[in-house]
Structure 1
């Protein structure tokens, strides 16, 4: 296991997390040279980096250090990246960036279904990887809607010290504490699932296209001219399916989120 530490370069988290959290990343990669490269890229971005050569060791590092970002190789001996991601997701909301030489769309979708927030093909360019991580960290925890949007279907409630809660039909979300409950039952979501749900709750009855949600997850929600591929749109569908499954919602009889066919999603009336 290789540890690279560079605490002097730490910077505040643009997403609103604690300063300590922003300084920690875990790299799970069985190839020494790639693990070293990833550690260097992340250290230059201000992270304290902890590296693991396999999935089992990586899961323990995530449990111990509670990183903000975890990079994860897919093809590792023993426990592969998909299983590793599932185990991490059982207890952590770390941003997971999955890296793999497998470039088929089905592999990327499988990674997202396992709990990854992004899927990067090998060989990757260090500058591009860092840009994608920076984009994830720019995601707002409270997403503003455009001027002139229809009235929201969501009740906004002052949480008396723990920030504002958004509520809709028994579903409650707190952007400040990153808590989601359904009928007072806690729901564990990935960061991407949480951000999509927060975006929809703030938008209310205004339809959010799959392209809008994809740009939001990339940190480019205002760059409406940016290209969004079919793969990006499919990734949103996967995130939405996982979100609905965790909420216990049927797409055929939605309690919270309607599908507007050919367009995107919006809250129920």
Structure 2
């Protein structure tokens, strides 16, 4: 699907190459080159998706992501020069949905963008076609219609991807879901190239709902640990 994409990247060569490739795939690309400019462009142009570099003049991409998510939830693909798990977890905590480490292949960037856009479409279709429901297990409560989550009666704010990941696990509580299945159902990917993305989002989800609520089966995947539904 064609979309309006905000690209916030201060490196001219990388920014031009990304903009050209996204435009060639039918997207409208709006450019910004620093943190304050990225926030201003987001408010002015209301993009469908944001491609956001972490290292930016003014203030960094993590701060940009935090500010724009406070205005309106939007899928964010972060670009990072360091393959550092701590940096990735910070990005996911402030609302990023996915990340790519530089240098990256343009084909992979386009594929990630397309997958994010498809996921947004699927979430909207699902919300329109299903009856909202609330399910609870041992202090964990999920309202699929309102897309809200509570742990021990305290509301927990999940990113859109974290919520979709939790709902996917909660659809089969106790069952082990492979990373490949989670990639296909939550991200819309048909290959196993993003298993680290799943692992990073699981860590972010555990930090918010409790580490003991998601069980790891090494070499296989993850399961939501619950008692009897209430």
Q: Distance in 2 between matches of 1:182 and 1:53?
A: 35
Whether the 8 Å contact between 2:49 and 2:117 is mirrored in structure 1 is no
Aligned to 2:36: 56
Closer, same or farther in 2 for the Cα pair 1:203/1:166, shift >3 Å? Answer: farther
Whether the 8 Å contact between 1:210 and 1:265 is mirrored in structure 2 is no
Q: Aligned pairs, how many?
A: 216
Secondary structure at the counterpart of residue 63 of structure 2 = helix
**Distance apart, 1:205 and its partner CA:** 4.4
Q: For 2:115, which of 135, 158, 176 is the aligned residue?
A: 135
**Distance apart, 1:143 and its partner CA:** 11
Question: Where does structure 2 lack aligned partners over 5 or more consecutive residues?
Answer: none
Aligned to 2:27: 47
Q: For 2:147, which of 172, 176, 180 is the aligned residue?
A: 180
Whether the 8 Å contact between 1:97 and 1:120 is mirrored in structure 2 is yes
Q: Distance in 2 between matches of 1:25 and 1:228?
A: 22
**Distance apart, 1:220 and its partner CA:** 2.7
**Distance apart, 1:78 and its partner CA:** 2.0
Whether the 8 Å contact between 2:32 and 2:38 is mirrored in structure 1 is yes
Closer, same or farther in 2 for the Cα pair 1:240/1:48, shift >3 Å? Answer: same
Aligned to 1:148: none
1:1-269 to structure 2, matched below 5 A, reads 11=1, 23-139=3-119, 140-141=122-123, 163-169=130-136, 170-174=141-145, 179-182=146-149, 189-220=158-189, 226=192, 229=195, 231-241=196-206, 245=208, 249-252=209-212, 258-262=213-217, 263-266=221-224, 268=226, 269=228
Closer, same or farther in 2 for the Cα pair 1:260/1:232, shift >3 Å? Answer: same
Question: Where does structure 1 lack aligned partners over 5 or more consecutive residues?
Answer: 1-10, 12-21, 145-158, 253-257
Closer, same or farther in 2 for the Cα pair 1:191/1:165, shift >3 Å? Answer: same
Secondary structure at the counterpart of residue 133 of structure 2 = strand
- The answer to which structure has the higher helix fraction is 2
Compare 39-48 and 54-63 and name the one that shifted more: 39-48
Closer, same or farther in 2 for the Cα pair 1:187/1:143, shift >3 Å? Answer: farther
Q: Distance in 2 between matches of 1:73 and 1:199?
A: 29
Report Cα offsets for 1:108-165 as digits up to 9, x if no partner. 3332233221211222222221012112223342899xxxxxxxxxxxxxx9x88421
**Distance apart, 1:204 and its partner CA:** 4.1
Whether the 8 Å contact between 1:208 and 1:266 is mirrored in structure 2 is no
Q: CA RMSD in A?
A: 3.2
Q: Distance in 1 between matches of 2:224 and 2:89?
A: 23
Q: Which of these two proteins has the greater Rg computed from alpha carbons?
A: 1
Q: Distance in 2 between matches of 1:49 and 1:28?
A: 10
